[in-house]
Structure 1
Amino acid sequence: DFNFSQEQDMVRKTVREYAEAELAPIVEDLDRWGHIPPEVLQELASIGLLGVTTESQFGGIDADPV
Structure 2
Amino acid sequence: MLGNESLPSADVTKVTEPETMHELIADCAELPNALTPTSAVPPPPRAPTWDVDDRCCAQIADLDEYV
TM norm. shorter chain > 0.5: no
Larger radius of gyration: 2
Write 1 or 2 for the structure with the bigger share of helix: 1
* Larger RCO of the pair (alpha carbons < 8 Å, separation 6+): 1
TM-score (norm 2): 0.22
Q: How high is the TM-score relative to the length of structure 1?
A: 0.22
